[in-house]
Structure 1
Amino acid sequence: MFADMRKIAGLAWPILIGQLAIIAFGVIDTVMAGRYSAVDLAALGLGSSIYVSVLVGMTGVLLAVQPIVGQLFGARRYVEIGEEVRQALWLAAALATFGFVVMYFPEPLLALARVPQALHERTEAYLRIAAFGLPASLVFRVYTALANAVGKPRLVMVLQLGALVLKIPLNYWFIFGGFGVPALGGPGCALASTVVNFLYAGTGLLLLAKVDVFEPFGIFKHFCWPERQRLLALLKLGLPMGLSYLIEVTSYTFMALFIARFGTTTLAGHQITGNWGAVLYMTPLSIGVATSTLVAQSLGARQYDAARKLARHGIAMACGVGTCYALIGFLLRPVILAAYTPNAAVIAAAMPLVTIMLCYHVFDALQATTAFVLRAYKVAVVPTLIYAVALWGVGLGGGYTLGFDVGGAIPSWLTGARGFWAASAASLAAAGCGLYVYWHTVSARLSRDAQAPAAVDAA
């Protein structure tokens, strides 16, 4: 068990550092925008929720290349890896075109939130600027998927840390203005991120062409047009993966849209709580990606029992760490909230939400890691159905019922934003348990099927 955990930790720590660098984008945005104005902080929360929904849904489709490449790498079929990456870049271009339109014309989504005009204008400005950075962000996701699949997450981490170093001064410049640039407030965060996205996407492509570890794949040795068969294979796995990501993120996005109806202060408290939860989520995410990489490589090498054992140990590791984070976070709530904002009203709004979020985090660790493991098995359709029932049904449906006191029988302490967060915690518990049971069934069946021919040969 501990040998497997050491392997997982060896891959997970650079993923974690890189992901923390990226999530620090959101922390920096929240802190800086919060000091500019409460309206800009609320607009940032709404705008970033919509942006993340679009980006994560499309990223999920592209990340289908990771388990495919991982299994090819385990089977030592290196030339095919280059083919898969080229097709993934074509797919990224198509997705970016669609995503740009959605983000540049966000009126249908903003109308759902029924926000004040001032908040509407700031959110729209944020999304229109962020739309221009979407293509670069998707290209970088292809680079990330490849590097992680072949066990080289440090090559991603270095770029993400470099991006963070650039993000801080750019954020300050564009939010507060100076040197001929007007103060943009919250939308300045989107402009800073767009500049950074293009810089590290370009650097990622250069590394694919120049770094020795990628040379056997021959990614840029020749040009190729989109290939129907490979694209269909990517989409067969990627679409349900992308939909599961979209379900997961839109459950949070629509929660933000509904919570916006309770006022700017409540929305700002929700934004801080969600941002803190996102920071905590980076550890189980990193463990999940690392576990998925090792599982996919074992499956490619036809070591099915080893893959099953790695998966089980990775899931246990993520849940254990998540529980420790929740306990520590509960004790440090006042200190951490004070670091986010000096506004006492926002802190008061966030305090009960944070308590629920810390319980939510333990279930989030279970479902996230198990979902990554299932993707290593190239299994995505049933997990997507589990997500839909749990996150949209229990989470959003239950949240709406509790939050808006549908029926008039909900206790006052469970209404408003607290009702939405409580329902989300319940939905993640349901999703995590469902995914784990399904993974256990799939992996056990695969191990049995692999052993059956050996038993026949021995007989």
Structure 2
Amino acid sequence: MNPIVRESPLGAPFLANLRKIAVLAWPLLIGQLAIIAFGVMDTAMVGRYSSTDLAALGLGASIYISVYIALTGILTALQPIVGLAYGAGRHAEIGEDVRQALWLAAALTAIGFLILYFPTPLLQLAHAPDALRERTVAYLQILAFGLPAALVFRVYSALATAVGHPRLVMFLQVGALALKIPLNLWLIFGGLGVPAAGGPGCALASTLLNWLLGATALLLLVKLEVFRPFAIFARFCWPVRKRQFALLKLGIPMGASYLIEVTSYTFMALFIARFGTTTLAGHQIAANLGAVLYMTPLSIGIATSTLVARALGARHDAAARTLARHGIVMACAIACCFCAIVLALRPLIVAGYTTNEHVTAAALPLVLIVAIYHICDALQVASAFVLRAYRIVIVPTAIYAVALWGVGLGGGYLLGFNIGGVVPPWLTGARGFWVANTLSLAVAGVALLFYWHNVSVRPVHADEARDAA
């Protein structure tokens, strides 16, 4: 039986809750860091290949992440749905929900493939030089072929995490990282009869590994004892309108939230590309560091959301509220520690990415902003995931739209391009975009926190939450 079901409705002491969250969060963190290390290695290795390829990687990765995160955000709806059913002991429903999620993944693949394989409309916004555009298109087209397997793996990840076995995901992600290193070296720089491919080479390595992960995930769903009670492949089924609607009703707003969050960075990269290749390369380093730091509060948010969903499924509303509060505090406290580390080691961190002195000069002031920005990021992601456990997705999406698109992207455009001619020089260019983005995350985090505080005082029972989903 799930330990959260046996827990008193009055909750648990602070340290006990931190231990529960940490038990789920550490495998998630290691797995997420393994995946984000794909991007770190791509950036570091391609940066040593050529600055043009590094800029193309930054531009292409921004577009790919926007598409990937939006689509996987929809599939992530499976996690709170399964978590609620698991906490309530409704195991028979889980297999059907997984089958329906796989059908949804197939439909989303068709949409994502078209966007990635024909990215010209998005690239036109960047006014990129022809050489940069050519390398970016090649990078995205290769990644398009790995998207189906990536979405299948996302379904597996959501299920394994929701039922309390994130290590089954972590082992695969760490294994993929071990293979990524030699594949990158081979395909980026060439060797053994294979010509050097630069940025597109790391895309090919990622695509091959995505297919390996997807195939392994399907095999484990069939073979592992932990998944057998759900009888996922006991029978074939076609898409069921009611269950697809339940996934989409929760998943579309979640995907929209992810899309708003990620496109704010995508369009920031597209606009920053107008300042030149060197500035864009510096931005890519700052963005990559921010993504690495983000993995810790993200893992804590996912773990907290899983435990809160189980508590709500077991009708332990007070325990759910306490777990949520402690998870948010934990994420923000660790973010403050990371902020201090980044401030102290800023030159060394940038030196690990590039040896180009011009790119270093462009990256250093941005990394300074990233240190503060991370604290705001931790607050918003932890609060957002807690709200998803409560099946609250519409209002957070509206908060993200106003904060990230309005304050972040709109404010960044005004500052970065010095609209009106009154912006101080230190706030123009890429720095203006990063300062506005930091402010937008602060606005979103505070708004989401206060909204959760109001929502959590109302009782939310398993049957009510299931109907809401």
Shorter-chain TM range is over 0.9
Question: What residue is the counterpart of 1:240 in the other structure?
Answer: 253
Aligned-partner Cα distance in 2 for 1:408–1:445: 49
Which secondary structure does the structure 2 equivalent of 1:433 belong to? helix
Which secondary structure does the structure 1 equivalent of 2:458 belong to? helix
Within-5 A mapping of 1:90-239? 90-239=103-252
Letter aligned with residue 422 of structure 2: A
The offset of 1:445, in angstroms, is 1.8
Aligned-partner Cα distance in 1 for 2:209–2:194: 17
Which secondary structure does the structure 1 equivalent of 2:180 belong to? helix
Residue by residue over 1:97-148, the C-alpha shift from the partner in whole angstroms, topping out at 9 and shown as x without a partner, is 1100000000000000001110000000000000000111010000000000
Aligned-partner Cα distance in 2 for 1:443–1:237: 18
Q: Runs of 4 or more off by more than 3 Å in structure 1?
A: none
Letter aligned with residue 382 of structure 2: T
Within-5 A mapping of 1:21-420? 21-420=34-433
Which secondary structure does the structure 1 equivalent of 2:234 belong to? coil
Residue by residue over 1:257-313, the C-alpha shift from the partner in whole angstroms, topping out at 9 and shown as x without a partner, is 000000000000000000011100000000001001100111111111000000000
Question: What residue is the counterpart of 1:19 in the other structure?
Answer: 32
Aligned-partner Cα distance in 1 for 2:423–2:287: 24
Aligned-partner Cα distance in 2 for 1:383–1:356: 25
Letter aligned with residue 344 of structure 2: L
The offset of 1:177, in angstroms, is 1.2
Aligned-partner Cα distance in 1 for 2:94–2:193: 47
Aligned-partner Cα distance in 2 for 1:443–1:209: 38
Aligned-partner Cα distance in 2 for 1:445–1:17: 35
The offset of 1:183, in angstroms, is 1.1
Structure 2 alignment gaps of length 5 or more = 1-13, 463-469
Question: What residue is the counterpart of 2:6 in the other structure?
Answer: none
TM score, norm. by length of structure 2: 0.95
Number of aligned residue pairs: 449
TM score, norm. by length of structure 1: 0.97
Residue by residue over 1:172-218, the C-alpha shift from the partner in whole angstroms, topping out at 9 and shown as x without a partner, is 11111122222111011110000000001110111111111111000
Question: What residue is the counterpart of 1:453 in the other structure?
Answer: none
Aligned-partner Cα distance in 2 for 1:52–1:118: 22
Aligned-partner Cα distance in 1 for 2:191–2:162: 42
Question: What residue is the counterpart of 2:3 in the other structure?
Answer: none
Aligned-partner Cα distance in 2 for 1:142–1:379: 21
The offset of 1:378, in angstroms, is 1.0
Aligned-partner Cα distance in 2 for 1:217–1:445: 31
Report which stretch shifted further, 395-404 or 178-187.
Answer: 178-187
Letter aligned with residue 383 of structure 1: P
Aligned-partner Cα distance in 2 for 1:97–1:331: 45
Aligned-partner Cα distance in 2 for 1:375–1:214: 24
Structure 1 alignment gaps of length 5 or more = 451-459
Letter aligned with residue 103 of structure 2: W
Aligned-partner Cα distance in 2 for 1:48–1:171: 16
Question: What residue is the counterpart of 1:457 in the other structure?
Answer: none
Aligned-partner Cα distance in 2 for 1:250–1:303: 37
